[in-house]
Chain A
């Protein structure tokens, strides 16, 4: 292979990984945009969703792509209930309390999974796991291409929901001015919970798209969540296009710095971007609000 081909294939892999990062970041940015809090349980929820896909395949023999609609619905319901009956009441409406409650939830989920599944790394075996599509000199993994396309479909659906439906209008109203929204009859607690549920459903979709090519262990969510935070900060907290572009950018940076710096130092590129963006422009490159 020519060096150019190596570079291009790293780029393509970065873009495909970046789309899944974007999907994880979409849930985070949506919750931030509406509730103005950072959901620290996001990574652990992704881990839980990946185990759900694993169990569905290993115990029930359900293909990840077929499990997608059901799992998305289940995680929407779980997210709704957790926000409505745990996070909301426990935090008394105080931002730093929400931070701590979601941190507590993430500790519980991560370690309950560790206790239940032990620290072994697991993966599922699907017939199309190693199939590739040939584009020029590049071999692109089919499941990764599906994940790439799937992420854009979810982003488009989310955008449609927010822009075209009554629920979407209510979510946007609560994000902008929750007192005003409450005055005109929007049930703020309900909308908070719906938003949280949507964030969790995004993770269930991400898990179904990831599992054919990825592995799962109880700590896997951490790897994603810091990347997702980076994307959200980079793209501007609460911005959907920002999350998409930020996700693709971070995917490429990770892939290229892995190529040039080696596997163990590869991740550092992401954190350095993260710290620099936080220090220099915390509203993100696309964020409007301060």
Chain B
């Protein structure tokens, strides 16, 4: 049983030594950003991958975590080390509320996707119009570099902080998948009526899943705010994060422990490579090309690799192991 945590330890160890090989700030910024997206995707994967409830609006949770983190510091003078867990709880509360409303109304499938999308849009419009959140100008977290203030002179330190959160997400997902709750959640995904007939309280299971899911995504939002120290409604509640949090698990492997992490690294790595390659070829940055690649990958995955890259990997291993 314990040995199932070994792959997690190895993966985290590999990711932890990466900053030692580079001193480039661009690389470190990219890695931190990729891990923040991976964390948001881990949150999405609990509800979407294990629970089968596809949310198109995880930006609502990411943004709440991000704004919570920034506003608790700027407006209330709360220390970031306390603000981060508080922001996570705020995101989880928003998730629980949206879940209670939509799951009680028995929304699923496309309807659930639509209602989450609409909630994220409402949050975006409100954050854009309200003075408390800084309106369209956004919020700026003042620069004060000291460890007590969760701002580090060395970019690697923040990367390790994000990595620690991703590691916690991996362990949590693994523990959940092995626990009774994980089995209930998968049962609800596979056949909700059958699960209910066997005595699974599907509403309670889905509510717990969305609360956990939104909390993890909100944590990613809080880290994002602290990393870039600036937010506006289009960043925090924008559809980009809803889309990337959903793409990463689907491309990596839906409902698997490593799927979101693998998916986020591959997705953002490929996006960055395309941007650089095309930028060189055409002599200037072309906006949007990385996202075109994401869209193509999504369709290819749905068409040819329904279990994602990890599923493809398992198939290849099985082929190799087959006696000749």
Contact = CB atoms under 8 A, between A and B. Distances in A.
A90 interface: yes
Contacts of A118: 287
Report whether over half of chain A's contact residues are helix, strand or loop; otherwise say mixed. helix
A115 B287 contact: yes
Interface string A72-100: 00000000000000100111100111011
Interface in B209-267: 239, 243, 246, 250
A105 B287 contact: no
A230 B243 CA distance: 20
Nearest to A230: B118
Interface in A222-273: 222, 226, 229-230, 233, 262, 264-265, 267-268, 271-272
A218 interface: yes
A7 to B, nearest CB: 23
Contact of B292 (A101, A107, A262, A271): A107
A103 interface: yes
Interface residues of B, number: 41
Given A90-B303, A97-B302, A271 B114 contact: no
Given A107-B292, A111-B292, A218-B288, A90 B302 contact: yes
B238 to A, nearest CB: 11
A99 B113 contact: yes
Q: Would you call the interface of chain B mostly helix, strand, loop, or mixed?
A: helix
B8 to A, nearest CB: 28
B111 interface: yes
A233 B107 contact: no
B105 A280 contact: yes
A107 to B, nearest CB: 4
Chain A, interface residues (CB within 8 Å), range:
35 or more
A105 B126 CA distance: 29
Contacts of B114: 38, 229, 233, 274, 278
A104 interface: yes
Candidate in B122, B239, B243 with the most chain A CB atoms within 10 angstroms: B122
Contact of B129 (A38, A89, A110, A265): A265
Contacts, number: 123
Contacts of B129: 262, 264-265
B53 to A, nearest CB: 10
B271 to A, nearest CB: 11
Interface string B77-120: 00000000000000000000000011001010111011101110
Contacts of B288: 110-115, 218
Best-buried of B56, B110, B117, B243 by chain A (most CB within 10 Å): B110
Contact of B101 (A108, A271, A279): A279
Interface string B275-305: 0000000000011110110111011001100
Contact of A278 (B54, B111, B121): B111
Q: Which of B52, B107, B287, B288 has most chain A Cβ within 10 Å?
A: B288
A12 interface: no
B32 interface: no
B125 interface: yes
Nearest to B110: A38
A162 interface: no
B128 interface: yes
Contacts of A222: 239
A163 to B, nearest CB: 27
A282 interface: yes
Nearest to B304: A90
A179 interface: no
A262 B121 CA distance: 17
Contacts of B111: 278, 282
A131 interface: no
Contacts of A106: 295
A275 interface: yes
Given A99-B54, A104-B295, A108-B296, A271 B122 contact: yes
Contacts of B109: 95-96, 99
Contact of A275 (B122, B287, B291): B122
Contacts of A233: 114
A28 to B, nearest CB: 11
Contacts of B286: 115
B126 A107 contact: no
A38 B294 CA distance: 20
Given A108-B291, A108-B292, A280-B105, 19 more contacts: A91-B303, A96-B52, A97-B302, A101-B303, A103-B56, A103-B246, A103-B298, A110-B291, A111-B288, A111-B291, A114-B291, A218-B288, A264-B125, A265-B125, A275-B122, A278-B111, A279-B105, A282-B107, A282-B111
18 contacts: A91-B303, A92-B303, A92-B306, A99-B54, A104-B302, A105-B295, A107-B292, A107-B295, A110-B288, A111-B292, A226-B121, A229-B114, A230-B118, A262-B129, A268-B126, A274-B118, A275-B115, A279-B102
List 8 A-B pairs, minimum CB-CB distance, nearest first. A111-B288, A107-B295, A114-B288, A108-B295, A90-B303, A104-B298, A111-B291, A104-B299
